[in-house]
Amino acid sequence: MRKLGLIMEKSVLLHSRRNLLAGAGSVLLAAGLAGCADAAARPVPLAVRRNPGCGCCEVWTEQMRASGRFIVTTEDDPDLGAFKSAHGVPSDLASCHTAIVGDYVVEGHVPLADVVRLLDERPAIAGIAVGGMPMGSPGMEQPGGGNEAYDVVAFTSGGQRSVFTHYPAS
């Protein structure tokens, strides 16, 4: 009988130890996942250079800031063309502002979703751009709506280009 009691006691201890280890593993896994979520939710710096006093640039930067994904700084640059050139922005894709986020250039009125996608996917490109100032793009919204069709163009330092996202007219 005593032997049966010892066997049952060992079984209870072993079962308790397994539950303890499983519980500890679950806690560590949850903490690790929370840490990953915190890292993804942490805002990243987005440094914007713009034509001095540009209103649509201000609207675009406010949209980026309001997302909570970025810590936005803005600097008026009277020689913005030199900055764009130094960062490899193709002249035909130029707009009124240029942002640097991580290792990427974001030129012009690029939608928030595309900037987030760029950072999530980390493609082997120099940056993305919306050339010019298409109506309906972020910062260029008009009362009454209406959008021109435009592309967000991915570009490399070697000159290759591809459509990153297409936005149809509406």
As a whole number of angstroms, the distance between CA 113 and CA 19 comes to 43
Q: How many residues does the chain have?
A: 170
Query: Is the pLDDT confidence value at 2 over 60?
Result: no
Query: Is the pLDDT confidence value at 136 over 60?
Result: yes
**Encoding tokens for residue 41?**
């939710």
As a whole number of angstroms, the distance between CA 37 and CA 152 comes to 28
Of the candidates 91, 109, 90, the residue with the CA atom closest to the CA atom of residue 99: 109
Question: Is 48 in a helix, a strand, or coil?
Answer: strand
**Encoding tokens for residue 42?**
């942490």
pLDDT in tens, 48-104: 999 888 888 899 999 999 999 999 999 999 999 999 999 999 999 999 999 999 999
Q: What is the pTM of this model?
A: 0.76
Q: What is the mean pLDDT of residues 148-160?
A: 96
Q: How many CB atoms are located within 10 Å of the residue 153 CB?
A: 23
**What's residue 54's pLDDT?**
85
Q: What is the dihedral of CA 68, 70, 72, 78, to 10 degrees?
A: -130
130, β-bridge pairs: 108
pLDDT in tens, 5-33: 444 444 444 444 444 344 444 444 444 44
**What's residue 25's pLDDT?**
42
